[in-house]
Amino acid sequence: MSIDEFYFMHHGLVLPKETHSQESVRFFGQEFTFKDDDAVAVTYPKSGTIWMQEILPLVLNGGDLTPIHTILNWDRVPWLEEKRFQTLVDQLASPRALVTHLPYQFMPPSFFSSKAKVIYVMRNPKDVIVSSYYFYQMAKFLEDPGSWDEFIGKFLKGRVMFGKWTDHVKSWMHTQLGDRIIYITYEQMIQDLPATVRLISEFLGKNLSDEVIEKIAHHCSFKSMQSNVMSNFSLVSDKYMDSSKSQFLRKGVAGDWKNHFSSKQLAHISSVIYKELEGESFALPWSLDGTAVVTNVDA
Ligand code: A3P
């Protein structure tokens, strides 16, 4: 099977044909206009996107659970670059919660002239590889991952949707957005979800009570999301996702990489990633050689 069967290239970026098209990226790039009160979660795939699709609407509306119980997550907080976006955009009430996997340089002019805020969520790339490997097995619209070794190779070369992890991170770590962007990690959310929800709410100018913060964190826990049909992808047809192979909400932990890599594979991954980030002015919030170090990202 060739890569062209599943993907097309958009200015050097690998995009899945099933969910994206040249028209969908053109629409986002040329016709969509950002508003000042938009909140955009930006992630490399498998870093916590759907988690943000749960958290953001609740933060923006003060903890009203209606959206997470009545609207499917991909319509509730849509992907800007996907085909569905064009049909949804006029129905979104402000302040809008949006998500994208696009690197920074793909954002359109109205993004740069607006005051839209960005929450960039990063996850330890070793766990991103593990999560991706299972996702590529269950998602029928993505190329089969091949063997574990093969998939690690594809991931590191950027032969996966949205290209190389290091390119994505570099693009969003070097923005001119000033206080319009915050960086959070998946591991930070795992470690203390209420504190992270508080951080996001303050960043978005919402002064939420401790009670509301706790309520949001409770309804955005892995368990709550697993049992929420609007968020757990159980309503997606078998034609697109084979849940007998893996679940979208698979494990929801930090550090699953410890169960998957050989020491040789780990050494290879860290050497490739460190080399590609050589000379960068930012430090990763994890040590790729050892255990996860959770700190705020120092951009
Ligand atoms: P795992 O495959 O490691 O379980 P994305 O939404 O960017 O595709 O990321 C999916 C990953 O986020 C999956 O990781 C999924 O389980 C995890 N995830 C989603 N919601 C979560 C939550 N509430 N708590 C912990 N992990 C969550």
Average pLDDT, integer, range 245-257: 96
Ligand 1 contacts CB of residue 24 (under 6 A): no
pTM of the model: 0.96
Average pLDDT, integer, range 237-241: 93
- Express each pLDDT in 220-236 by its tens digit: 999 999 999 999 999 99
Q: How confident is the model at residue 258 (pLDDT cuts 50, 70, 90)?
A: very high
Tell me which of 19, 44, 46 to substitute to probe ligand 1's pocket, judged by most ligand atoms within 8 Å of the beta carbon: 46
pLDDT higher than threshold 70 for residue 290: no
Rounded distance from Cα 279 to ligand 1 centre (Å): 31
Ligand 1, atom 26, lies closest to the CA of 252
Rounded distance from Cα 290 to ligand 1 centre (Å): 22
| Residue-range domain boundaries for the chain | 3-276
pLDDT higher than threshold 50 for residue 161: yes
Tell me which of 51, 76, 220 to substitute to probe ligand 1's pocket, judged by most ligand atoms within 8 Å of the beta carbon: 51
Give dist(CA 15, CA 158) in Å, integer: 11
Q: How confident is the model at residue 3 (pLDDT cuts 50, 70, 90)?
A: confident
When the pLDDT of each residue in the chain is averaged and rounded to a whole number, the result is: 95
Q: How confident is the model at residue 57 (pLDDT cuts 50, 70, 90)?
A: very high
Of the options 3.10.129.10, 3.90.550.10, 2.40.340.10, 3.40.50.300, the CATH number for the domain spanning 3-276: 3.40.50.300
Average pLDDT, integer, range 179-191: 98
Rounded distance from Cα 132 to ligand 1 centre (Å): 10
What ligand 1 atom has the least distance to the C-alpha of 134? 2
Confidence (pLDDT) at 289: 79
Rounded distance from Cα 31 to ligand 1 centre (Å): 31
Please tell me which residue, 295 or 19, carries the higher pLDDT value.
19
pLDDT higher than threshold 50 for residue 292: no
Ligand 1, atom 15, lies closest to the CA of 249
DSSP for 41-90 reads: EEE-TTSSHHHHHHHHHHHHTTS--HHHHHS-HHHHS-BTTSTTHHHHGG
Average pLDDT, integer, range 273-286: 95
pLDDT higher than threshold 50 for residue 211: yes
What ligand 1 atom has the least distance to the C-alpha of 249? 16
Residues sharing a CB contact under 8 Å with residue 196, sequence separation 6 or more, in sequence order: 184, 188, 189
Q: Which residue has the tokens 């697993």?
A: 226
Tokens for 44?
């490399």
pLDDT higher than threshold 50 for residue 299: no
Ligand 1 contacts CB of residue 163 (under 6 A): no
Rounded distance from Cα 178 to ligand 1 centre (Å): 28
Say if residues 57 and 67 touch (Cβ distance below 8 Å): yes
Say if residues 24 and 81 touch (Cβ distance below 8 Å): yes
Rounded to the nearest 5 degrees, what angle is found at the Cα of 140, between the Cα atoms of 136 and 144? 45
Average pLDDT, integer, range 67-92: 97
Average pLDDT, integer, range 252-268: 96
Average pLDDT, integer, range 45-55: 98
